A and B are shown apart, each in its own frame.
Chain A
Amino acid sequence: MNKRKKILLADDDIDDRILFESAYRNRNDIIVLPIAINGVEVIQRLESTLAPENLPDLIILDQNMPKMTGKQTLSLLKADQRYAHIPVCVCSTYADHHLTVDCLKLGAYKVFSKPITDEEYQKMMNDFLGDLAVEIAH
Chain B
Amino acid sequence: MGQVKEYRDLVQENETLRQQLNEANDTIDAIRNGEIDALVVEGKNGHELYTLNSADRTYRSFIEQMSEGAVTLNAEGIIVYCNSSFANILDTPSRDIISHPLVEFIPESDGKNYDDLIFLGWQQEIKGEISLKKKATLVPVQLSITSLKMDEGVALSIIVTDLTSQKQILNALKSNNEQLEMMNKQLESSNHDLQQFASVASHDLQEPLRKIQVFSHLLKDKFAHELSDISSVYLGKIVHAANRMKVLIIDILNYSRLSSNDRNYVLTDINAMINELLLDLELITKEKNAVIRVHELPHMQINPGQMRQVFQNLISNALKFCKREVPPFIEIYSRIVTVKHPVLDYDVRCCNIHIKDNGIGFDEKFSKNIFNLFEKLHSKDDYDGSGIGLAITKKIVEKHNGQISVHSKMGIGTEFILTLPIDQEPNE
Interface of A toward B, CB cutoff 8 Å: 15, 19, 64, 93-94, 96-97, 114, 116-118
Contact B207 A117 (CB under 8 A): no
Instruction: Name the B residues within 8 Å of A118 (CB-CB).
Output: 217-218, 221
Q: Which of A15, A96, A117 contacts B221 (CB 8 A)?
A: A117
Known: A19-B214, A116-B213, A116-B214. A94 touches B221 (CB 8 A): no
How many A-B pairs have beta carbons closer than 8 Å: the answer is 27
Taken together as a complex, chains A and B put the C-alpha atoms of A118 and B213 apart, in Å, by 12
Contact A64 B203 (CB under 8 A): yes
Q: Is B206 an interface residue (CB 8 A)?
A: yes
Contact A116 B203 (CB under 8 A): no
Instruction: Name the A residues within 8 Å of B214 (CB-CB).
Output: 15, 19, 116-117
Interface size of B in residues (CB-CB distance below 8 Å): 14
Q: CB-nearest residue of chain A relative to B243?
A: A116
Instruction: Name the B residues within 8 Å of A19 (CB-CB).
Output: 214
Minimum distance in angstroms from B258 CB to a CB of chain A: 13
Taken together as a complex, chains A and B put the C-alpha atoms of A64 and B221 apart, in Å, by 28
Instruction: Name the A residues within 8 Å of B340 (CB-CB).
Output: none
Instruction: Name the B residues within 8 Å of A97 (CB-CB).
Output: 305
Q: Which of A15, A64, A94, A114 contacts B250 (CB 8 A)?
A: A94
6 interchain residue pairs of minimum CB distance: A93-B206, A117-B217, A116-B213, A94-B206, A116-B214, A93-B210
Instruction: Name the B residues within 8 Å of A114 (CB-CB).
Output: 210
Contact A93 B217 (CB under 8 A): no
Minimum distance in angstroms from B11 CB to a CB of chain A: 118
Instruction: Name the B residues within 8 Å of A94 (CB-CB).
Output: 202-203, 206, 250, 253
Q: Is B293 an interface residue (CB 8 A)?
A: no
Instruction: Name the B residues within 8 Å of A116 (CB-CB).
Output: 210, 213-214, 217
Given contacts A93-B210, A114-B210, A117-B214, 11 further A-B contacts (CB under 8 A): A15-B214, A19-B214, A64-B207, A93-B203, A93-B206, A94-B250, A97-B305, A116-B217, A117-B217, A118-B217, A118-B218
Taken together as a complex, chains A and B put the C-alpha atoms of A30 and B197 apart, in Å, by 40
Taken together as a complex, chains A and B put the C-alpha atoms of A117 and B243 apart, in Å, by 12
Interface of B toward A, CB cutoff 8 Å: 202-203, 206-207, 210-211, 213-214, 217-218, 221, 250, 253, 305
Contact A15 B305 (CB under 8 A): no
Contact B221 A93 (CB under 8 A): no
Minimum distance in angstroms from A125 CB to a CB of chain B: 16
Minimum distance in angstroms from B309 CB to a CB of chain A: 10
Taken together as a complex, chains A and B put the C-alpha atoms of A97 and B305 apart, in Å, by 9
Contact A93 B213 (CB under 8 A): no
Minimum distance in angstroms from A97 CB to a CB of chain B: 6
Q: CB-nearest residue of chain B relative to A22?
A: B218
Taken together as a complex, chains A and B put the C-alpha atoms of A116 and B221 apart, in Å, by 12
Question: 11 A–B contact pairs at CB < 8 A?
Answer: A64-B207, A93-B206, A94-B202, A94-B203, A96-B253, A116-B210, A116-B214, A116-B217, A117-B214, A118-B218, A118-B221
Contact A93 B207 (CB under 8 A): yes
Taken together as a complex, chains A and B put the C-alpha atoms of A32 and B365 apart, in Å, by 59
Known: A116-B217, A117-B217, A118-B221. A15 touches B211 (CB 8 A): yes
Q: CB-nearest residue of chain A relative to B222?
A: A118
Q: CB-nearest residue of chain A relative to B211?
A: A15
Taken together as a complex, chains A and B put the C-alpha atoms of A116 and B213 apart, in Å, by 7
Instruction: Name the B residues within 8 Å of A96 (CB-CB).
Output: 253
Taken together as a complex, chains A and B put the C-alpha atoms of A64 and B199 apart, in Å, by 14
Taken together as a complex, chains A and B put the C-alpha atoms of A66 and B206 apart, in Å, by 17
Instruction: Name the A residues within 8 Å of B206 (CB-CB).
Output: 93-94
Minimum distance in angstroms from B307 CB to a CB of chain A: 13
Taken together as a complex, chains A and B put the C-alpha atoms of A97 and B206 apart, in Å, by 16
Minimum distance in angstroms from B133 CB to a CB of chain A: 64
Instruction: Name the B residues within 8 Å of A93 (CB-CB).
Output: 203, 206-207, 210
Minimum distance in angstroms from A80 CB to a CB of chain B: 28
